[in-house]
């Protein structure tokens, strides 16, 4: 966000800045979403709803799991939330007690660490490697748990910042290991729908005990509507409902009504995804030619996590210079990995393909 603030300041001063720092779709909200919101507003009343969301939306989300994965999920296990951020807060509050140790594979989304810390939980970083495709293995979790027990672990597939996914077998073994060790699993699946290579597998295929978080922000292009959901095991439904009632009363009714329209926008959303795929192909082809050749193929999401150690050991300074000298804004790896992130930069390709191509041209000239 500091990079964004600096980039916006330069833009106000007249600089032409290409934004590759934010994980936000550049596409507009789908027409069906806008139409659903307009219809809700036309009815003249937007009010409180049930704490876990309106029944229609919970049922439609449950149907998504049947259609996309062939997994049956009862609607009463769906909790609609104020974005995935609201889901993580509710899940952590319901699942853990102050002082509990929660594993966090790194590199990973920095808000996990910050939310856990704010709630008085102990974050246990579990370093992953490029060789392991930046994903935690069951063996790595078992090793950390043996040293001192973990209460839970948070895993993302596709991963932010790398875009890499767990294989079906890898996810199955991780879910089984967590069950054996009685480690609560929170699975971040917010980039599902945006998968280019490999199988899109939900943890719910292997367990009804995992808490699965998803969102309308990424695939459905609804970031500003702040609407997400999670699938809960039966024993957590009522605790989450009680916490949600007290903290939030309910998710926004307008956003929930709009989200119902998102399921009718598949053609438009697949066109947006095709644009990401084109940008991905361009980056995979062009980045090695300009000297940024150390990264993994991007399975999903819209990020490329590049090793910049041949140019710097300070990714924050690298990103500042890249912004000011080349007009390209990207995110330093320190956001995602406090111990090794000084050698990495995350490039988002959620914007227009033409902007991604121009960024490659600028970076090629800048890196020499």
The answer to whether 99 and 121 are in contact (CB under 8 A) is yes
Residues of the chain with pLDDT > 90, as a percent, come to 95
The answer to whether 25 and 218 are in contact (CB under 8 A) is yes
| pLDDT score of 39 more than 90 | yes
Q: Determine the pLDDT at residue 2.
A: 83
Cα gap 243→302, rounded to integer Å: 33
Dihedral angle sign, alpha carbons of residues 47, 50, 51, 55? negative
Cα gap 352→278, rounded to integer Å: 10
Q: How far is CA 148 from CA 113, 236, 266, 311, in A?
A: 19, 25, 46, 38
| pLDDT score of 90 more than 80 | yes
Q: Token pair of 210, please? A: 């995992």
Distant-in-sequence, close-in-space partners of 337: CB < 8 Å, separation ≥ 6: 106, 107, 108, 127, 344
Average pLDDT, the chain: 96
| pLDDT score of 364 more than 90 | yes
Angle in degrees, 0-180, between the axes of helices 83-95 and 234-247, rounded to the nearest 10: 120
Mean local confidence (pLDDT), 44-73: 97
pLDDT per position as a tens digit, 145-159 = 999 999 999 999 999
Q: Determine the pLDDT at residue 188.
A: 98
The alpha-helical segments, DSSP class H, found in 191-336 are: 234-247, 253-262, 266-286, 315-321
Q: How far is CA 12 from CA 9, 281, 300, 319, 328, in A?
A: 5, 31, 33, 19, 15
pLDDT per position as a tens digit, 260-294 = 999 999 999 999 999 999 999 999 999 999 999 99
Residues of the chain with pLDDT > 70, as a percent, come to 100
Q: Determine the pLDDT at residue 201.
A: 96
Least confident of 58-62, 129-133, 199-203, 225-229: 129-133
State the pTM of this model.
0.95
Mean local confidence (pLDDT), 103-108: 96
Q: Determine the pLDDT at residue 1.
A: 76
Mean local confidence (pLDDT), 227-240: 98
Domains of the chain plus CATH, in order, are: 2-29+267-367 (3.90.1150.10), 31-262 (3.40.640.10)
Cα gap 226→248, rounded to integer Å: 13
pLDDT per position as a tens digit, 7-27 = 999 999 999 999 999 899 999
pLDDT per position as a tens digit, 327-358 = 999 999 998 999 999 999 999 999 999 999 99
Q: Determine the pLDDT at residue 198.
A: 86
Q: Determine the pLDDT at residue 269.
A: 98
């Amino acid at each position: 966000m500091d990079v964004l603030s600096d980039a916006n300041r330069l833009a106000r001063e007249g600089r032409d800045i290409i934004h590759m720092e934010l994980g936000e779709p550049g596409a507009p909200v789908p027409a069906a979403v806008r139409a659903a919101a307009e219809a809700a507003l036309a009815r003249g009343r937007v009010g409180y709803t049930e704490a876990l969301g309106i029944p229609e939306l919970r049922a439609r989300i449950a149907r998504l799991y049947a259609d996309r994965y062939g997994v049956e999920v009862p609607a009463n296990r769906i909790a609609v939330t104020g974005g995935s951020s609201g889901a993580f807060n509710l899940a952590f509050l319901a699942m853990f007690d102050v002082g509990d140790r929660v594993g966090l594979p790194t590199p990973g989304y920095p808000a996990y660490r910050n939310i856990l810390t704010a709630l008085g939980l102990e974050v246990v970083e579990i370093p992953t490697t490029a060789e392991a495709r930046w994903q935690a293995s069951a063996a790595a979790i078992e090793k950390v748990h043996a040293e001192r027990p973990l209460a839970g672990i948070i895993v993302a597939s596709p991963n932010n910042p790398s875009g890499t996914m767990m294989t079906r077998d890898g996810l199955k073994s991780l879910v089984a290991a967590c069950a054996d060790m009685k480690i609560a699993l929170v699975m971040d699946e917010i980039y599902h729908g945006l998968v280019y290579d490999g199988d899109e597998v939900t943890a719910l295929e292997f367990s009804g005990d995992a808490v699965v978080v998803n969102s309308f922000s990424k695939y459905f292009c609804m970031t500003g509507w702040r609407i997400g959901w999670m699938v809960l095991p039966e024993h957590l439904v009522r605790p989450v409902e009680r916490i949600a009632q007290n903290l939030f009363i309910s998710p926004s009714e307008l956003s929930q009504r709009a989200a119902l329209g998102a399921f009718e926008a598949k053609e438009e959303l697949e066109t947006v995804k095709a644009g990401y795929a084109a940008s991905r192909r361009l980056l995979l082809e062009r980045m090695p030619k300009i000297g940024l050749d150390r990264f993994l193929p991007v399975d999903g999401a819209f990020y490329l996590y590049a090793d910049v150690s041949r140019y710097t050991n300070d990714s924050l300074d690298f990103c500042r210079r890249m912004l000011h000298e080349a007009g390209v804004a990207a995110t330093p790896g320190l956001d995602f990995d406090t111990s090794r992130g000084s050698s990495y930069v995350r490039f988002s390709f959620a914007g227009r393909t033409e902007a991604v191509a121009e960024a490659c041209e600028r970076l090629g000239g800048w890196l020499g």
